[in-house]
């Protein structure tokens, strides 16, 4: 009797398993016939991991040290034309170069007059070329161009310009950025960030970014 009961139980379990597999297969077939649901997502600037090197621009203060040659060491300000003049080297183009690149150029120029010069360039002021600054347009409290700083986020930019006006359409703000030589736009949510404190709306900034804050029409 026990043997028959065991056989019966096994048979019932097998039928239930078979029916369950068939039902699941039917559901899978039904799902495969349904059109995929499109997910609406907003473009978002990628997180920044590697910050580009600082580039020298007009208005930057340069301290140029030539080892064992104090007469050649100078502190100069980059002229509006992007050039500087130091002893033995006149009208040297410096805009768009890193401090290390400029040091090697000065070493080459001084090498005509000095044996194996060793040059170090230190920057103060930190304005950078216009192409590397962050520009804030539209309904910011103080629209302006500001120097980029490492690990700068849109929240840091908002602090620098005093936030947005009461007429700003903050959630329609966009960042205009060059990505691999192509100009792209990314939507960001300034209202959510500033007025609601939603820190997930904070994004990284890069040198040369343009932040455009439109006006609300209602």
Region class of 138: left (phi > 0), else alpha (psi between -120 and 50), else beta: left
* d(C-alpha 74, C-alpha 61), whole Å: 11
**Residue 84, token pair as written in the block:** 């500087």
What mean pLDDT do residues 182-209 have? Answer: 94
Note the CATH number of domain 132-213: 3.10.560.10
pTM, two decimal places: 0.63
Task: Report pLDDT digits (tens) over 100-159.
Answer: 999 999 999 999 999 999 999 999 887 788 888 999 999 999 999 998 888 899 999 999
> Which residue would you say has higher pLDDT here, 23 or 94?
94
Strand 210-213 relative to strand 173-179, pairing: antiparallel
Contact 189, 154 (CB under 8 A): no
* d(C-alpha 114, C-alpha 123), whole Å: 24
- Residue 217 — very low, low, confident or very high, per pLDDT cuts 50/70/90? confident
* Boundaries of every domain in the chain: 61-124, 132-213
**Residue 207, token pair as written in the block:** 């040198």
Task: Report pLDDT digits (tens) over 2-13.
Answer: 555 555 555 545
How many other CB atoms sit within 10 Å of the CB of residue 125? 14
**Given 3.30.1950.10, 3.40.630.20, 3.40.50.300, 3.90.1150.10, which CATH number is that of 61-124?**
3.30.1950.10
């Amino acid at each position: 009797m026990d043997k028959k009961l065991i056989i019966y139980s096994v048979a019932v379990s097998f039928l239930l398993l078979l029916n369950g597999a068939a039902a699941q297969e039917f559901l899978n077939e039904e799902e495969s016939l349904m059109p995929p649901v499109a997910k609406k997502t907003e473009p978002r600037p990628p997180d920044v991991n590697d910050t580009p090197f600082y580039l020298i621009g007009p208005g930057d203060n340069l301290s140029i040290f030539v080892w064992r040659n104090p007469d050649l060491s100078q502190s100069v300000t980059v002229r509006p034309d992007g050039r500087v003049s130091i002893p033995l080297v006149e009208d040297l183009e410096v805009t768009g170069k890193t401090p290390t690149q400029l040091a090697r150029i000065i070493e080459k120029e001084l090498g005509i007059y000095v044996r194996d010069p060793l040059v170090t360039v230190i920057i103060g002021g930190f304005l950078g070329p216009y192409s590397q600054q962050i520009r804030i347009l539209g309904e910011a409290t103080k629209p302006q161009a500001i120097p980029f700083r490492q690990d700068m986020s849109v929240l840091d930019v908002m602090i620098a310009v005093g936030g947005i006006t009461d007429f700003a359409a903050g959630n329609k703000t966009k960042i205009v950025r060059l990505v691999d030589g192509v100009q792209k736009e990314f939507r960001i949510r300034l209202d959510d960030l500033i007025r609601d404190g939603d820190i997930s709306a904070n994004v990284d900034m890069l040198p040369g970014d343009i932040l455009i804050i439109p006006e609300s029409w209602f």
